[in-house]
Amino acid sequence: MNYFKYKKNQITLMVFIITVLIACAPLISKYCINGHDIEYHLLRIESLKEGILMGKPFLKVNVLFFGGAGYASSMFYPDFLLYIPALLRVIGISINTSYHIFAAICIILCYLSAYICIRHMTGSTYGAMIAAVLLTLSPYHLADIYIRSAVGEYTAFIFIPVVIYSVYNIIYEDMDKPWLFVLGYAGVLLCHTSSFVMCMVFGMAALLTYCKRLFRNRKLLIRIIISTAVTLMLGAFYLMPMLEQFMNTSFYVSVPWMNPKDEALNFSDIFGSSFPTLGSICVLILIPRIFVSRPKTSEKVNTDTVIEETPDEAVVKELSDEETSVQRHSDMVTGLITYADILIAAGAMFTLMSCNIIPWEKIGKYLSFIQFPWRFFIMGSVLFSMAAGLIYSRITGKDEDISEIWVFDKEADSTVINTGAVILTLILVISGISAFNGFGTGSLGYYDYSDDYYSYKPYTSNVIAGEWLPDTVVNRDSLIADSERMITSGGESIKYTRIKNTIVADIDESCEYVDVPFIFYKGYKALFTDVSGTVTELAVSGDGYNGMCRVNTDGIGKGVLWVGYKGTTVTHISSFVSIMTMTVLIVFMIFKRKDHRKVGHE
């Protein structure tokens, strides 16, 4: 391939492979990484697999949880990327292998996301590689994968760099790439809700620093509003049903199961070597910012003298274009360094939020959703890594301004090594050593999950704190046993059959109500077919024993009762809105691409 004829491209590929191999080293095992939250996320994957196999891949209430009683994990926790391992499970790949393949894919996408964003922002391959290496091998990113198994957070690492690029694009490029905003924010939203809130805070704070310029640019404001609307419409299928549930039911999450102030760190722990930590390399690597200056305004092409000597109009125009180009480059570099300062300041603020120097005893009740203050390290890691990429792109220069990474002079005995190569090599070595030292710190080792692991019902109740259980569930420990009982108002047990995500039972006697072994969420439907074949829809509430669905039969007589989750009007409308929005965007991009091709041919 012609691409790999150039030494710079060979080195780019080599750095990518080395970084990914270091980051993926613990995944090279037939057993599964045994992180803090691994069983919950494997259960989510298995539930998605079951939904796909039964022909209902997008169920909001996952049928596998609590022995079949169901749990609305997909209602409150986005499954966007989890369909990758779920599909691997469908085609027969083991639980252990499918999860490790998924984690490796996320690591690769994290690297590529940081690399591509910085490469397009700066035009510097060196700066892009530095940012990608720092982020991929950052202590908190690797801890999220190997110690915490926090799937939501480590998938969000893929899209947060795009969010940072999109904010830059708004401030310095008049949002000429609005798709960056949509991709970044929608991606984070569909990976991890808490990270989405952090990204919103960052975006609003960064834009407020330029509010005067923004409000004077009407077109830019319109683009921001439209892009925000498109993002919300794309995520409507997730956001709207979740909000509807919160408006109709009270859940365990309403009563925090832990206090953030109890998990706040000492300042020194930020730079420690054991989990949870941001690590020192992300901060130390930014020290060269002190020596990086913005371009001086005097660095312009002086055309006055030249024009007197060469009055030719074409030459004058060429010189004028050269002056404009130099000024644009100067403005771009100034913008990049200023934005790097914004990222450093924002990263410092997010990082400090993890410490006990913040009055968590006062603000904890307002930010209880964060649970662990050190979760702010996700933003600190990305912001500092991206800032480093911007700073070192200024040190090494754009690709067209510098020589190859390694220049070999056949007539000379020495090898000339570019500054960018030295910096990149040092960062790769230090980050690699840090990564290997951190792999064993806090790790719970490995466990061999058999493919039928979750056929054992007690394992289907591992939902950590069970935040998405309705507060009508008064005894969480009995949910497995309750999932096997269907009881009438008279206390009689009824035999029933589970068919996919529904329960079917014969009602042989008149009774006031029937408690069905499904944990109640708004969206359950009940249909009753009497002996004459007449079908009647019955009311379903959450008043059943231990939070189960209660169907009001009201002495309706003999017949067949069918109960299952069908969703609500809001669920169906929001799904339609998201599908239509995606369809319109795809059609728009296709036509826009055709227009670009026509212009290119002309």
Structure confidence at residue 216 (pLDDT): 86
**Mean pLDDT value across residues 462-474:** 92
Phi, psi of 306 (to 5 degrees): -65, -40
Domain limits of the chain?
A: 27-443, 479-567
- Determine the pLDDT at residue 399: 57
pLDDT in tens, 518-568: 999 999 999 999 888 889 999 999 999 999 999 998 878 888 999 999 999
Contact 407, 429 (CB under 8 A): no
Q: What is the mean pLDDT of residues 351-362?
A: 89
Give residue 298's pLDDT band: very low, low, confident or very high (50, 70, 90).
very low
Integer-rounded Cα radius of gyration of the chain: 28
Say what the pLDDT of residue 419 is. 64
C-beta atoms surrounding 91 within 10 Å: 8
Mean predicted confidence (pLDDT) in 350-363: 89
Averaged pLDDT of the chain: 85
Phi (first) and psi of residue 248, to 5 degrees? -110, -20
Does the global pTM surpass 0.85? yes
One-letter amino acid for residue 189 of the chain: L
pLDDT of residue 427: 82
What is the CATH code of the structural domain delimited by 479-567?
2.60.40
pLDDT band at 60 (very low <50, low <70, confident <90, very high): very high
Percent of the chain with pLDDT over 70: 86
Q: What is the DSSP string of 48-110?
A: HHHHHHTT-TT-SSBTTGGGGT-B-HHHHS--TTTHHHHHHHHTT--HHHHHHHHHHHHHHHH
- Please determine, for residue 395, whether its predicted confidence score (pLDDT) is greater than 50: yes
Closest CA to 380 of 156, 138, 142: 138
pLDDT in tens, 263-292: 888 888 888 878 888 888 878 888 888 877
pLDDT bracket for residue 602 (50, 70, 90): low
32 three-state secondary structure: strand
Residue 379 CA to residue 278 CA, distance in Å, equals 10
Question: Residue 301 — very low, low, confident or very high, per pLDDT cuts 50/70/90?
Answer: very low
Share of the chain above pLDDT 90, in %: 57
Residue 307 has pLDDT above 80, yes or no: no
Cα 142 from Cα 81, distance rounded (Å): 18
Kindly tell me if the per-residue pLDDT of 85 is higher than 60.
Answer: yes
Cβ(61)–Cβ(503) below 8 Å: no
Pairwise CA distance, residues 269 & 277, whole Å: 6
Could you write out the three-class secondary structure of 254-279? HCCCCCHHHHCECHHHHHCCCCCCCC
